[in-house]
Amino acid sequence: MSFSADDFAKALSQHDYSFEVGQTVQGKTVNYDSDGAYIDIGGKATAFLPSQEASLRKQFSLEEIVPLDEEREFLIIKGQDANGQVTLSIRRLELKHLWTKLLELQSQSQSVQVTITGVNKGGVTADVEGLRGFIPRSHLLDRDNLEGQIGSQLTVTFLEVDPDRKKLVLSNRMAEQSSRIGELEIGQLVSGTVSDLKPFGAFIKLDGLTGLLHIKEVSQNFVPNLSAVLKIGEPIKAIVLDLDPGRGRVSLSTKVLENRPGEIVDSMEQVMAEAEIRANRYLEKMRQQ
């Protein structure tokens, strides 16, 4: 049987070559030109990958990203034109995967290294594997020399990861706190300074972070007026009661150092002087529970 050109055209027209924007397809590079690469994705016409859609990286070789005859995944970003050609992207597929990765890192309270790329009135911008992130000034360890940080690398955690709004907000301060918190253990005796007093408790400045001594954890007897017991600027020792690295929180207690209810109130100096002995006793009790 002979197979004419008309027969071939008819068979071709009956084949389903439906490609939709947002669809992920497999393809192989068959040729390059000055503006991009032509990709065989099994359609009636080769698809086109523009150079600007080839990678999240600013500097790259097209031949390195999409070698000839090597199959890989692409995202369709523009539907078929009159010739049946669709437009592809690797960059947007990488962006999609990257946002998913960052959401997972945020949920796990993980930190990452970023490069500072610029300064604005609210803080600094940072490159996060090709994405533009923002670090508010209040979440920088060095809040004064912003210009001097351009080009440097900082460790950050994620405050907000919003793919829909393309919003990525980071914190250098919380990353440092999480790192410091990782060096602490529940039941450990720590030394610090009272930095602030609030109705709900006292903030204790530790080495590189701040802990909270809740008013209920000051003494076994309730203390109605913290300022009568604690003074801003005075040294204090306390037991680490709880740790929350994800939120950068350290909960402290002094009441577990008391031999009797209310001892902190009337014999603070003695409790502090014997803090190490009392802390060891507390640890022994914890181990026996």
Strand bridging mode 189-198 / 153-162: unpaired
Which pair of structure tokens corresponds to residue 209? 């972070």
- pLDDT in single tens digits along all 289 residues of the chain: 555 556 545 544 544 457 899 999 999 999 999 999 999 999 889 999 999 999 988 889 999 999 998 999 999 999 999 888 999 999 999 999 999 999 999 998 888 999 999 999 899 999 999 899 999 999 998 888 899 999 999 999 999 999 999 999 999 988 888 888 888 999 999 999 999 999 999 999 998 789 999 999 999 999 988 998 999 999 999 999 999 876 778 999 999 999 999 999 999 999 999 999 999 999 988 888 7
Instruction: Enumerate the domain spans of the chain.
Output: 7-89, 108-177, 183-288
pLDDT value at residue 100 = 95
Q: Which helix (H) or strand (E) holds 87?
A: strand 87-89
Strand bridging mode 235-244 / 189-198: antiparallel
pLDDT value at residue 261 = 95
Which pair of structure tokens corresponds to residue 197? 């007093």
Instruction: Given CATH 3.40.50.1970, say whether it is the number of domain 108-177.
Output: no
What CATH number has the domain spanning 7-89? 2.40.50.140
Which pair of structure tokens corresponds to residue 180? 């410091």
Q: Kindly state the DSSP code that residue 215 receives in the 8-state scheme.
A: G
3-state DSSP call for residue 263?
helix
Distance CA 45, CA 66 (A): 18
Which pair of structure tokens corresponds to residue 261? 């209810």
pLDDT value at residue 7 = 54
Distance CA 109, CA 248 (A): 10
- Amino acid, single-letter form, for residue 34: S
- Closest by Cα among 175, 166, 89 to 131: 166
**Residues 183-288, CATH architecture:** Beta Barrel (2.40)
Catalogue the E-assigned strands of 109-260. Answer: 112-120, 123-128, 131-136, 153-162, 167-171, 189-198, 201-205, 210-214, 235-244, 249-253
